[in-house]
Structure 1
Amino acid sequence: MATMSQTWPIFTAVLALAVQLCTGEKSCAIWSSAGPVVQRDSSFRVYCACKCERKGSMFSGHPPTQQSHRDFNSTAIYFNVVNITKSRTFSCRCTCPPVLDPCGLDISAGYLPDQPKNISCIYKVKSNESGVVLCTWNRGRDTYLRNSSVLLVRTVSGNHTAGPMTYRSSSKGTDSLTASFIVPSSVQLVSVWVRAQNPLGSAVSTITNYTLSDIAMPSTPELGHPECSSRECIIRVKQPVRIQHLEIQYRAEAQTWTSYPDSALQMGLIQVRAISALEPSRLYHFRARSKFSSGLWSEWSTDVSSRTQEEAPSAELDVWYAEPASDFQSLRVYWKEANMSISRGKIIEYKVGVYSQNSGLVFSANISADARNYSAPFCASCEVIVWACNSKGLSPPARITTHHTKANLLKLVQVTKGNHSVTISWRKPETAPQHAAYVVEWYPEGHKLEELRWVRLGLNDNHTVITGVKPFECYEGAVHVVDNGSSVSVARFKGVTTVESAPTAAPSIQEKVEGNKVEVTWMEIPRGQRQGCITSYTIYLECGSGHWQNHSVPASERMHVIKDLSPAVYSLWMTASTAAGEGLAGQKVKFFIQQESQLSLLVVCVVVFMIALFLLCLCQSSAVKQRFWVFFQCLMLSDVPDPANSKWAKECTQEKGKMKLQLQPSNSNVTEAAEEEEEPILVDVEELPKPSSDIDTDVSSQLPPQTRLSPLTESTMLLSPLTTYIKSLSHDSDSSYHTQTSLDTTVDYISSHGMGNMDEEDQEEEDQEEFAEMLGFFPSLNMVTGPLAFGGKLTLDAVKIDCNDFFQNNNF
């Protein structure tokens, strides 16, 4: 166990160390040769002295960075600081035992204060007894040090001088400093100057003297709420002291201030001003300032606002129209929103009326205030009138008519393109109406109804600049000479664009194959992908063999036919072009041109040949010829002879009451009757005015004995249908029961007995023989369609030929 004498030195050392740590004893001392505050851009030394002979180290900055120091003596070192530009921190650490805290030094770098300049003072009169003097000055550049500035004031009241008195300054956050002080109304003169100082030194301004009446400023006026009519506003102005000048300014939205004329001197504390010459339905802002007979104008008062009342619109709307459709049944009318000086109020609606020269008002409609166009019904002798309506009334009517005859007055239209604008110029017409004007319209191609824009110009103008033209957009339009609301002459332009490039898309196509040709149809490229004005389309056609061809089509076309294509597989695609170049290729479509079948052609040829051969064979048969000839004879009704003009009718007029009948019996008595009746039989015929409605079926009782028919013949005749004409038959038959076959059949008009020319009779017999040969082709049916019946007298109506019986009794 250590003795008390051994532990005491250790305890003493520990106690000494603890005391040093608690007291914060440093291991060194540090100082600057220029002091803790130095001027910027100056040079000096920083010294460090250790408490032992061991060497120390110099550091600077945050975090500390070791510096290259020099030895001053055995216990001290130093560091040279050259052209210091900002405040810095230096520290020094010594290696002396025991280990103690390092020592440090803060160096502040700055400038001397500048001399205060531009001292300006104003005297704000608060009342008749006193006021406040407010002075402002420029403190100069920033010194980067803690500064202080004071205002020194000396006042003169009559013969009494007071001061100088010191007033502390305050900063407005700028390079300017201010200070204020109260002075009584008895003070006439003041003298002011400023002193500024910091740790490096101080600076004093020059003395400035003021006469208070020269810098006197009234307090800011107080304005009451304006009371306004449509053209005038009344404003109340309140001041704490009497003033001699009052200025009131007013302005509408986004306009400059306008000063109202000043009034007389020696005004009271409350003034009433009437501000006239205002516009209706405008929101006006007002402000005011005042001034004594001398001195300074007061600050502007706070703005007050009020709106004037409305009036009926003062002028007609700027109206234009899109040309009517092909049916001329409607007219799209457009109008621009009038400015406030014309509308004189808030437009609550628009009115559209259609007037006819003959019947007056034929249509009217109230349109929403947000609308800018309307499709109105229209007629050739009508005009469309548009009004704007506010709470006070209607605007003057704006008229549009389209029935004027258009004359070719405009001779030239020139279009000059800019970066974002287009200049349209034209020649002034030599003969134009006295009160005419120009209307220049423009719109994106194909979108007139949706995006029509126009500008109205005077007759002396010859050009206009269109602004707001979108790049990569194609425009078209026209220049109109307008008189009395109607276009009397027009010159059009199209294909106008400011910036364009090749299209970014191709048309979508559809193909239709017909034989050896293909019909190609396509739609327009979407508006946003045209990139300008389309000048042409190109159709590319590629054959399966690799051969290809192209077809250029104008931009106005939407269909193209490619003909004379050989059988093959084809690929088809399209592109569109602008003045800047050809666009991207579209999607390829494939189609096939088929080869015509040789077998089908051969079958068609064989069928045609067989039909022709069959018809040729039929034409060789005389029977076919005769049948068709008879058929066509009956169809040609215009060739049926008229019994009234027959030879028999003419002879009958000479020998009335007699006619020659050639009867031919039937069945078994045919031969006998032929031998007995070789001589003609005369029959008395009585002409009646019209034929009897009933035909007597008892023929035998009407005839002489030599003409009676056998019972079989009589029954046969009775069973046959009656006819309205007379037929003569000659039959040969092997048996009375056998169906009779016509061997020699003749049909002719009944002629007179023995009165005709023999040559004519011979000719008739030859004609009858030829007709019998023609009828020989038909089936061997009994051609006797009716008996020889004589009821009463024979008339001309009873001997008319009816071809219907010919077809009814012959089955083809």
Structure 2
Amino acid sequence: MSKTWSVFSAVTLLVQVCIGEKSCAIWSSAGSVVQRDSSFKVYCTFNCKCKRSMFCDHPPTLQSHTELNSTTIYFHVVNITKNRTYSCNCDCTKRQCNCPAQDPCGLDIKAGYPPDRPKNISCNYTVINNESGVVICSWNRGRETYLRDSSVLRVRTVPRNHTDGPEFHSVSCKGTDVASVNFTVSTSVQLISVRVQVENALGSAVSSTIDYTLSDIVMPSTPVLGQPKCSSRECIFKVKQSVKTQHLEIQYRSAEQTWTSYPHKGVQMNTVQDWSISSLEPYRLYYFRARSKFSIGLWSQWSSNISSWTEEEAPANELDVWSAVSVSDLKSLRVYWKEANISVSRGKIKHYKVSVTSPDSVLVSVNVSSDARNYTVPICANCEVTVSARNSRGLSPPARITAHHTKAKPSQYVQVSTVNHSVTISWREPETAPPPAVYVVEWYPEGLKLEELRWMRLGRNDDHAVITDIQPFECYEGAVYGLYTDSSVTRTMFTGVTTLESVPEAGPVVQERVEGDTVKVTWIELPRSQRRGCITYYTIYLENDSGHQQPYSVPASERMYVIRDLSPAAYSLWMTASTAVGEGPACQKIKFFIQEKTPLWLLLVCSVTFLIVVLLLCLCQCSAVKQKFRVFFQCLMLDVVPDPANSKWAKECAQEKGKMNLQLQLSNSSVTEEEEPILVDVEELPKQNNGISKSRNVSSQLPPQIGLSPETEPTTQLYPLSTYIKSFSHDSDSSDHTQTSLDTNTTVDYISSHGMGNMEDEDQEEEEEEEEEGEMLGFFPSQNIFIDTLDIGGKLTLDAVKIDFCTDFFQNS
């Protein structure tokens, strides 16, 4: 074997050297075409001493080769599954004589299968005209070979005169599972024999021979249909065939229906034939097709489809209508209707007509757009609402709605069950109750009855309704109505219907209002997208500043809750919403404070005190009451008034004539106890006949705010003999620094003559003081009961007593 390879290698090298193309030779032990899943070896022989290597595919991948001898290497390929390319490379270190350039050499290996034996041969004979026809034969090639196959159909025709020889027809069928070939035969041929032979690089296969009698496989050519002309119930079109046939089948269907066959009819002509299809529906798009057949043989192929619309008719049936009343507007009724299907509308709806009629007149008659599905009308007693649809041919019968129904006693027992994504509403009437004329089941997303109301009308014998258009994570509610012939109606509500739900995505938005020890909590319903199902209840959490937490559960229908009798403290409040699955997250916390209440008894005491003060002030305006107060205060005064002329202060004044030292104890905040006493020089004047002494020279050391005015006229009576001298002057009209307020602790000294003096002057001076005090006490009544003159007898000494009149008391207050 090694000798054989050596000789083969030498011959190969010699050929390459002579040609001058390659420095190596590559070949396969199985050839260039191999069967898939087989194993073989690829050899490379080099003509130079070099570093040898072998590669596979593109880009080249280095392979682990085996050394056969000094010039030849090989690679063992195992279970090849696709086409591959192998190459060899030589890296020379020393050139030999006549050694060609060191180009690599390569080999393409194709992998595939030998052909299977053809099977399922089928032939049809189509008559083109009276002289010839076409035979179409097809067969199943079997599995894909991944190689180039060559198929030959061998046909032997047997005419009536038996003179024609065999015919051969070739066909290329690469890449298809079913191969076919067609050929023309004369109408004189009665029998044919067919056989299929196929081959490729790995082998060949031949089918069995099949004989056909052409009369058994003969068929007419495919009919040709003309464009239909249609009325509302019938379509007429032309059928054309090339030869006479005995059978013709026409089929038709609308867009949503299956094919319907028109009865077979015999045709004894090969010209154009008019055919009509009746019993069609108005305003439908119909499709038509046809095929034909001889009295023997096979049906022809179906013709191409043709289509046409039938014409419109006036709507024949009533619309499906329903109604609802708005909770916020009980004086209006919203009427709903469903879009009529094509069998009811019988045409394109142009608009809807809504009318409201009373027994005497038409109250409302309006045309609504064809896109509208509801309209709001006023409610009135004994009114009837009708809705009709109009197309190009007329109006539909009016669908009637009675605005006011007599409410019958609800009797249905309603049960709701959920399966997958559908909801079944079932009900049961009592055995003694008569069944209504019709049932209506309505449903809508919670709180959106007017916006998304849907309903289903059912017969009197129905006891359940299956609802399929329920959105997941949406909460629905609705009712089952029983409508009777006497316009009475029963209604049974159902709530909390959902097909899929989870916990809410957020908590409600909360607001609080504090009133004393009570807090009113209000919140807004969660948006539909955040509910994730049916809200079963809300939970309010209240936490005080010590960390104690109190939950309050509230029904889902509520939007307000009041928490009472809270203790004074700082509180935090938040809320959550819950579904049947669980509790959702909490909303944002809000904080508030409960203040301590003012005791009721204190409020009562303050109120009573205020009323007493107001009452006393009012009573002071009455002269009789003032007289009673004057008598009461006279009882409190001393019976004997001391004489000031006998006081120690008066004696010292007599010893040092012309000067007197008056020490004033001022309680004004600007004067302190450490300040020097203020001395006042007083000159004693001789006694006048009228009992009034006039001052000729008075030098005062008082500050300007309390000094006597130097501009005082000599004739002015500064100090009446029988009255007093005040340390703060209120009598000088010319003084610019009159003191306007006195402290309640200020002591006022008095100087009196040995006699009572002139009582008229004394009364006049007291009246002037009353006017000044009235100006200072603007908020007191103008007639003060304590300012009137008191008649006091006896003598007064300053050492014995110092008198503060009530006037000073009111001034300081």
TM over 0.5: yes
- Indicate if the aligned counterparts of 2:315 and 2:396 stay in contact, CA closer than 8 A: yes
Q: State, as a whole percentage, how many aligned pairs show the same letter.
A: 65
- The answer to whether the Cα contact below 8 Å between 2:149 and 2:173 also exists between their aligned partners in 1 is no
User: Do the aligned partners of 2:144 and 2:175 also contact (CA within 8 Å) in 1?
Assistant: no
1:115-150 per-position Cα deviation (integer Å, ceiling 9, x unaligned): 111111111222111121111111121222221111
Which residue number corresponds to residue 256 of structure 1?
258
What per-residue deviation string (whole Å, max 9, x for no partner) do you get for residues 365-397 of structure 1? 111111111111221211111111111111122
Which residue number in structure 1 is paired with residue 146 of structure 2?
A: 144
Report the 3-state secondary structure (helix = DSSP H, G, I; strand = E; otherwise coil) of the residue aligned with 1:256.
Answer: coil
Q: 1:564 to 1:108 in 2, by over 3 A?
A: closer
Give the 3 Å change call, closer, same or farther, for CA 69–468 of structure 1 in structure 2: same
Closer, same or farther in 2 for the Cα pair 1:256/1:543, shift >3 Å? same
Deviation by residue 1:6-52 (Cα, 9 ceiling, x = unmatched)? xxxxxxxxxxxxx9999543333333333332323333333444446
Aligned-pair CA distance for 1:411: 3.6
Measured in 2, the distance between the counterparts of 1:564 and 1:521 equals 18
Q: Do 2:151 and 2:173's aligned partners in 1 also have CA atoms closer than 8 Å?
A: no
Q: Could you say which residue in structure 2 is the equivalent of 1:131? A: 133
Please report how far the alpha carbon of residue 298 of structure 1 lies from its aligned counterpart in structure 2 after TM superposition: 1.6
> CA separation in 2, counterparts of 1:58 and 1:425?
80
Secondary structure, aligned partner of 1:449: helix
How far residue 432 of structure 1 moved from its aligned partner, in angstroms, is 5.4
Instruction: Report the more deviating stretch, 225-234 or 500-509.
Output: 500-509
- In 2: Cα distance, 1:55 partner to 1:515 partner: 104
SS at match of 1:350: strand
Partner residue in 2 for 1:410:
411
Does structure 1 conserve the Cα–Cα contact (< 8 Å) formed by 2:24 and 2:46? yes
The offset of 1:483, in angstroms, is: 2.5
Q: Give 2:33's aligned residue.
A: 37
CA shift, 1:311, in A, is 1.2
Match of 2:118 in 1: 116
Contact persistence 1:410–1:426 (CA under 8 A): no
1:459-498 equivalences under 5 Å are 459-484=460-485, 486=487, 488-498=489-499
2:620 and 2:626 in contact (8 A); partners too: no
Deviations 1:508-527 (A, max 9, x none): 22222223322222221112
- Name 1:282's counterpart in structure 2: 284
CA shift at 1:251, angstroms?
0.7
Equivalent of 2:79, from 80, 83, 96? Answer: 83
* Residues 207-286 of structure 1 mapped to structure 2, 5 A cutoff: 207-286=209-288
Alpha carbons of 1:546 and 1:601: their partners in 2 closer, same or farther (altered >3 Å)?
Answer: farther
Q: Is the 8 A contact 1:139 1:176 kept in 2?
A: yes
**C-alpha displacement of 1:192:** 1.2
TM-score normalised by L of structure 2? 0.69
Alignment of 1:365-444 (within 5 A): 365-430=366-431, 436-444=437-445
Cα deviation digits, residues 614-666 of structure 1 (max 9, x gap): 899999x9999xxxxxxxxxxxxxxxxxxxxxxxxxxxxxxxxxxxxxxxxxx
Q: Return closer, same or farther for 1:28/1:495 CA change in 2, 3 Å cut-off.
A: closer
Matched to 2:274, the amino acid is V
Equivalent position to 2:24, from 25, 28, 44: 28
Give, in whole Å, the separation in 1 of the partners of 2:368 and 2:50.
102
After superposition, the C-alpha distances for 1:704-729 in whole angstroms (9 at most, x for unaligned) are xxxxxxxxxxxxxxxxxxxxxxxxxx
Structure-2 change in CA distance of 1:196 and 1:514 (3 Å): same
Query: Residues of 1 paired with 2:330 and 2:103: CA distance?
Result: 105
| 2:611 aligned partner | 608
**Which piece of structure 1 moves more, 326-335 or 300-309?**
326-335
- Residue 353 of structure 1 corresponds to which residue in structure 2? 355
1:49-198 aligned at under 5 Å gives the runs 49-51=45-47, 57-93=53-89, 95=92, 97=96, 98=99, 100-171=102-173, 174-198=176-200
Distance 1:203 1:390, change over 3 A: same
1:659-687: per-residue Cα shift (whole Å, max 9, x none)?
xxxxxxxxxxxxxxxxxxxxxxxxxxxxx
User: Residue type matched to 2:116 in 1?
Assistant: D
| CA drift at 1:595 | 3.5
Alpha-carbon distance, 1:445 to partner: 1.0
**Could you tell me whether the CA contact under 8 Å between 1:54 and 1:75 is conserved in 2?**
no
Q: Distance in 2 between matches of 1:68 and 1:563?
A: 92
Does structure 1 retain, via aligned residues, the 8 Å contact 2:536–2:556?
yes
Residues 144-168 of structure 1, C-alpha deviations (whole Å, 9 max, x = no match)? 2221111111111113253432222
Residues 233-281 of structure 1, C-alpha deviation per residue, up to 9 Å, x if partnerless? 1111011111111111111113211111111342442221110111011
Q: After the TM superposition, which of the residue ranges 479-488 and 199-208 deviates more from structure 2?
A: 479-488
Deviation at 1:307, TM superposition (A): 0.8
The alignment partner of 2:164 has SS state of strand
- Distance in 1 of aligned mates of 2:513 and 2:613: 36
Residues 101, 583 of structure 1: alpha-carbon distance in 2 compared, 3 angstrom cutoff? closer
- Matches of 1:318 and 1:600, distance apart in 2: 70
Give the equivalent residue in structure 2 for 1:589.
Answer: 590
Task: Say which is worse superposed, 103-112 or 301-310, in terms of deviation.
Answer: 103-112
CA shift, 1:613, in A, is: 7.2
Q: Contact conserved, 1:229 with 1:308, CA < 8 A, in 2?
A: yes
Aligned AA (1:300): W
- Consecutive unaligned residues in structure 2, runs of 5 or more: 1-14, 628-813
Judged with a 3 Å threshold, the aligned counterparts in structure 2 of structure 1 residues 556 and 47 are, in CA distance, closer, same or farther, namely: closer
Correspondence for 1:806: none
Q: Matched residue of 2:407: which SS? A: coil
Secondary structure of the structure 2 residue equivalent to 1:511: strand
Secondary structure of 1:213 counterpart: helix
What's the secondary structure of 2:571's corresponding residue?
strand
- 2:795 aligns to what? none
Report the equivalent of 2:340. Answer: 338
**Structure 2 SS opposite 1:338:** coil
256-265 or 576-585, which deviates more: 576-585
Given candidates 301, 306, 309, the residue that maps to 2:308 is: 306
Distance in 1, Cα, partners of 2:175 & 2:110: 23
> Kindly tell me: are residues 435 and 519 of structure 1, through their superposed partners in 2, closer, same or farther at Cα, counting changes over 3 Å?
closer
Code of the residue aligned with 1:461 in structure 2: it is: D
3-state DSSP of counterpart to 1:396: coil
Superposed CA deviations along residues 322-358 of structure 1, whole A, max 9, x for unmatched, are 136576532111111111111111111111111223x
Q: Is the 8 A contact 1:502 1:583 kept in 2?
A: yes
> Which moved further from structure 2: 186-195 or 47-56?
47-56
Q: 1:529 to 1:29 in 2, by over 3 A?
A: closer
In the other structure, the counterpart of 1:757 is none
Deviation at 1:56, TM superposition (A): 5.0
Q: Deviations over 1:735-777 (max 9, x none)?
A: xxxxxxxxxxxxxxxxxxxxxxxxxxxxxxxxxxxxxxxxxxx
Change (3 A) 1:484 1:143: same
* TM-score in terms of structure 1 length: 0.69
Contact 1:153–1:163 (8 Å) recurs in 2: no
Query: What is the rounded CA distance, in whole Å, between the counterparts of 1:550 and 1:612 in structure 2?
Result: 53
Matches within 5 A, 1:498-509: 498-509=499-510
Indicate the SS of the match to 1:263. Answer: strand
What secondary structure does 2:588 align onto?
coil
What's the counterpart of residue 674 of structure 1? none
CA distance in 1, matches of 2:320, 2:210: 64
Q: Is the 8 A contact 1:351 1:387 kept in 2?
A: yes
Partners of 2:504 and 2:350 lie apart in 1 by 45
Q: How far apart, in 2, do the equivalents of 1:178 and 1:585 lie?
A: 74
How far is the alpha carbon of 1:557 from its aligned partner?
A: 2.1
Whole-angstrom CA distance in 2 between matches of 1:478 and 1:571: 41
| Residue 520 (structure 1) aligns with | 521
CA distance in 2, matches of 1:529, 1:344: 44
1:54, 1:536 → 2: CA distance? 90
Any idea what SS the aligned residue of 2:153 has?
A: strand
Distance 2:402 2:432 in 1: 21
1:645-684 matches, cutoff 5 A: none
CA distance in 2, matches of 1:431, 1:385: 34
